[in-house]
Amino acid sequence: MSSYTTISWILLLQIFRLAVETGAKVPAIIVFGDSSVDAGNNNQLSTIAKSNFEPYGRDFTGGLPTGRFSNGRIATDFISQAFGIKPTIPAYLDPMYSIKDFATGVCFASAGTGYDNSTSNVLNVIPLWKQLEYLKDYQKKLRTYQGNELATSTLSEALYLISIGTNDYLENYYVFPDQSSRFTITEYQNYLVGIAGSFIREIYHLGGRKISLGSLPPMGCLPLERATNFMSGSSCRNNYNKVAMDFNAKLKGLVDQLRVELVGSKVVYSDVYDKYYEVIENPSAYGFTNVAVGCCATGSFEMGYMCDRMNPFTCTDASKYVFWDAFHPTEKMNSIMADNAMKTSLAEFV
């Protein structure tokens, strides 16, 4: 076991002990979003946005490619374990699991999706509104399984995690002319924030009270964006990072508004941008040696089916890399981000 893994487990145990001592009341983690938190729902879809093959999952328990876009676990898995619930959160569409498994945590997320319905259409994945329909279906099954009183309590005390938005810009607005010709970037940001607000209000009306809205990462620093920024020496695309920061500020403003509007709720803004950027700017402080490219294949352009086990360039030690493929973080980076969330925005629920 590496020294980092040992430290990571110690941190998780400390968080778990704190949760027990303070009587934390988070009986389940309910996840919505995109590939940053998809636990394998896309495995059941007719889409190219999949990762249920090697080398994805090579550091997951049993070396299983579960459909998570990483070499191992994703941030929501670590968060679930930190709350003392379970080490992984199953995908709702995975036929291997039932309501018994979903009662303490379930993932509705879909890689390639966004706030904007047109984003999900690009790769034929689950739109955000459909994830809400899955929540309603899940609630019915949970009430049958737990009984109405206990299920109502579970749904009220559960933590609802939302991580989405990057695809709306990098797979939609900046790629296809439909939305960019219809909206200025500021108008598009406002449009997406409006959808985010409506989505959270729907969760609230369905009984959810503990809700975390995640920010965008510094998307201009993703390996794919660096690789296509060769005219500037493959540095981060500062204009994309500026868009992310501006959008994040609007999300934070939305959360401030909802905390007042939704009586009895605890809506928090989970900032991932600052910690992400901190690691990218000072990777050696976290034990990373590679930040500009991913571990899989050449690490510059590949993700999904372009990142397969036959590629001879895939690295041997993913723990030295911030990114696993050209778009997604490694398990180690996911652990760092989860730990940061537990110490900041999610500390309110511990």
Q: Which residue numbers are catalytic?
A: 35, 325, 328
Cβ neighbours of residue 137 closer than 8 Å, sequence gap 6 or more:
none
Apex CA 321: angle with CA 318 and CA 324, to 5°? 65
Q: What angle do CA 225, 228, 233 make, to 5 degrees?
A: 95
**Strand ranges in the chain using DSSP code E only, listed in sequence order:** 29-33, 105-107, 159-163, 210-214, 266-270, 290-294, 321-323
Identify residue 347 by its one-letter amino acid code. A
Both ends of the chain: CA-CA distance in Å? 28
96's CB contacts (< 8 A; 6+ apart) are: 90
- Tell me how far apart the alpha carbons of residues 337 and 218 are, in angstroms, rounded to a whole number: 13
How far is CA 334 from each of CA 4, 60, 76, 184, 324, rounded to the nearest angstrom? 13, 13, 8, 33, 10
The CB-side HSE value for 214 (13 A sphere, CA atoms) comes to 30
- 153: part of which helix (H) or strand (E)? helix 148-157
> What count of other Cβ atoms lies within 10 Å of the Cβ of residue 166?
22
Contact at 8 Å (CB) between 54 and 308? yes
Give how far the C-alpha of residue 239 lies from the chain's centroid of Cα atoms, to the nearest Å: 23
The CA–CA distances, whole Å, from 238 to 137, 180, 299, 328 equal: 42, 19, 20, 19
